[in-house]
């Protein structure tokens, strides 16, 4: 499992580094000096992303390989639950005629 994660992170790191270099070249083409490039927020963001990916990659490489997945023992089959007894249907409430109901309120 770690090998898949490591391979994915390496690809991600390569893409991030390529994006960083492409952005640096565009800034150099525009004529920015090293001091101005150091202050550029987008460039700093890309550098931070490269650092973050490389740190996670190193952590994965240091992590010991995980053992193969162990299958859980089969569960013993339980007898199906018995159905609960059916409830008796409720009797409908008696409705009062509207004329009587309005007289009782007064």
Residues 94-105, mean pLDDT to the nearest whole number? 68
For the chain, domain boundaries: 2-62
Query: What is the model's pLDDT at position 30?
Result: 93
**What is the pLDDT averaged over residues 86-93?**
81
Q: For residues 20 and 84, is the Cβ–Cβ distance under 8 A?
A: no
Give tens-digit pLDDT for 61-86: 888 776 766 677 677 777 777 777 77
Largest Cα separation within the chain, whole Å, is 94
Q: How much is the pLDDT for 3?
A: 86
* Mean per-residue pLDDT, 82-103: 75
Q: Which residue has the tokens 């995980």?
A: 66
Whether the Cβ atoms of residue 6 and residue 60 lie closer than 8 Å to each other? yes
């Amino acid at each position: 499992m770690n090998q898949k994660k490591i391979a994915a992170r390496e690809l991600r790191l390569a893409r991030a580094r390529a994006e960083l270099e492409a952005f640096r070249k565009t800034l150099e083409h525009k004529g920015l000096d090293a001091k101005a490039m150091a202050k550029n927020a987008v460039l700093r963001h890309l550098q931070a992303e490269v650092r973050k990916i490389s740190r996670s990659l190193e952590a994965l490489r240091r992590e010991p390989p995980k053992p193969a997945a162990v299958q859980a023992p089969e569960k013993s089959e339980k007898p199906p639950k018995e159905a609960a007894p059916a409830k008796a249907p409720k009797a409908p409430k008696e409705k009062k005629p509207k004329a009587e109901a309005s007289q009782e309120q007064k």
